[in-house]
Amino acid sequence: MSVKDKNIVIGICGGIAAYKITYLVRSLVKAGANVQVILTAEAKAFVTPLTFATLSKNPVYSDYFDPHTGVWHNHVDLGLHADLLLIAPATANTLSKMAHGGCDNLLLATYLSAKCPVMCAPAMDLDMWAHPSTQDNVSRLKSFGNIIIAPTSGELASGLSGEGRLAEPEDIFQTIYNFFSDALPLQGKKALVTAGPTHETIDPVRFIGNHSSGKMGFAIAEALQRLGAQVVLVSGPTALKTPDNVQQLHVISAAEMLSQVEHHFDDADIIVMSAAVADYTPIEVATTKIKKKEDVFTISLRKTTDILATVGARKSSKQTLVGFALETDNELENAKGKLARKNLDYIVLNSMQDQGAGFAVDTNKVTIIGKDLNKIHLPLKSKMEIARDICEIIVDHQLIISEQS
């Protein structure tokens, strides 16, 4: 599969980089795509509708209604029938409106109506791109599942040099091509990944938690996305940046993580449960700060719902389920027991005895055990490299599932 016969809507915003989209439209049409262009009013100050109508071989839309022809441009129809909506260049103003539901032109109305995947290629001056409000808007759009084609560094229209330059047309074309390509082994697959700790509230200022940084889960989410999967990442509190083109859902407690996992589980082909979920949570949560009075203080705890066992019980034969086990003693036997009890396809064993492995570090050393009890020992590597190794095993398992279907 490629871009041939794909319906691609390209929204062009008002910025000097708009001229570069002429090359992109030409390349897409040449590759067999059906391209429909929407220009914002500001974009027409930089490029003309006639140019894009000539290149796309389709009329160019800008307003809801054309007074000359009497034609109503239906934004719902545009959004429903597109295979992909690309907004490029995406200005800071448009990104902000997209992130917060603004709808004051045809392009934004089409975006809000779109049922297809959405890509954004931002372009702006380096200080605008680096501004916290812009970065917050980008993070918000990623959380919606929008794909961000990151700007590059280089000479900008202001005369300054830095990050904010529109990705080159050939790179945007390649991103689109890869998106529709069968070459990526997990293209068309949906993945659910959990990461980080959970915090179980004691009172308004205290909680029970653990030392998980989320780095392993985030690396797995990124690796799966690069292999073509559509990834939902459910993460407890971390300081990590959301991987590009991954939808991150933020949770705090084990109960919140369970709710999100159950909501997304049935749609997922691949489930990797790497979060360090609390085993116990306070029975009662104080509404005000508990004062330090007693020398010995007792909190009554109850077990949290075992998320991994819950999803293992409802796993279908078409899903790949991977769990993690962090052990301090009798590691191998404990991991094998967990593998069987929770109906996992694979379990990734961490030992706290291994130097450079475990929580809050950038490296890991693991043993991957399959349902057949075959073991793969991976030496100390970066967590990103470990993530790629785990994902290779997932790809192979998904291939076996496809062959058996």
H and E: helices and strands count for the chain: 13, 21
Q: Is 126 left (phi over 0), alpha (psi -120 to 50) or beta?
A: alpha
pLDDT tens per residue across span 337-361: 999 999 999 999 987 777 766 676 7
Q: What is the mean pLDDT of residues 135-148?
A: 92
Cα 303 versus chain centre, distance: 31
CA dist 29 and 341 (Å) reads 53
Cα 71 versus chain centre, distance: 38
In 3D space, the residue among 58, 21, 40 whose CA is nearest the CA of residue 106 turns out to be 40
Inform me whether the pLDDT recorded for 75 exceeds 80: no
Domains annotated on the chain, with CATH: 7-179 (3.40.50.1950), 190-404 (3.40.50.10300)
pLDDT for residue 156: 84
CA dist 53 and 61 (Å) reads 9
Secondary structure class of 77 (helix, strand, coil): helix
- Provide the percentage of residues in the chain whose pLDDT is more than 70: 95
125 is in an annotated binding site: no
pLDDT for residue 69: 64
pLDDT for residue 368: 97
| Unique residue bearing structure tokens 């809000």 | 112
pLDDT for residue 360: 65
Q: What is the mean pLDDT of residues 380-405?
A: 92
Q: Mean pLDDT in the chain?
A: 92
Return all residues near 314 (Cβ < 8 A) that are at least 6 apart. Answer: 265, 266
CA dist 317 and 296 (Å) reads 50
Q: What is the mean pLDDT of residues 185-208?
A: 95
Catalytic position from the list 74, 93, 210, 334 = 210
pLDDT for residue 192: 98
pLDDT for residue 181: 75
Inform me whether the pLDDT recorded for 239 exceeds 70: yes
| Unique residue bearing structure tokens 């290779």 | 392
Q: Are 235 and 196 contacting, i.e. CB atoms less than 8 angstroms apart?
A: yes
Residue 134 or 188, more confident:
134
Concatenate the DSSP letters of all residues of 112-139 into one string. Answer: HH--S-EEEEE---HHHHHSHHHHHHHH
Q: What is the mean pLDDT of residues 3-17?
A: 94
Confidence of residue 67 (pLDDT cuts 50, 70, 90): low
The region of weakest confidence among 61-65, 115-119, 264-268 is: 61-65
Q: What is the mean pLDDT of residues 201-230?
A: 94
190 is in an annotated binding site: no
pLDDT for residue 169: 94
- Provide the percentage of residues in the chain whose pLDDT is more than 90: 75
The region of weakest confidence among 66-75, 242-251, 339-348, 352-361 is: 66-75
324 is in an annotated binding site: yes
| Unique residue bearing structure tokens 């993690």 | 324
Q: Which two tokens stand for residue 352?
A: 């706290």
Inform me whether the pLDDT recorded for 70 exceeds 60: no
Report if pTM > 0.85.
no
289 is in an annotated binding site: yes
C-alpha R_g of the chain: 24
Inform me whether the pLDDT recorded for 1 exceeds 60: no
Q: Are 196 and 238 contacting, i.e. CB atoms less than 8 angstroms apart?
A: yes
Please count the other Cβ atoms lying within 10 Å of the Cβ belonging to residue 209.
16
User: Exposed, middle or buried by CB within 10 Å (0-12, 13-18, 19+), for 17?
Assistant: buried
| Unique residue bearing structure tokens 């809507």 | 9
Residues in the chain: 405
* Known catalytic membership, residue 343: no
pLDDT for residue 270: 98
362 is in an annotated binding site: no
Confidence of residue 235 (pLDDT cuts 50, 70, 90): very high
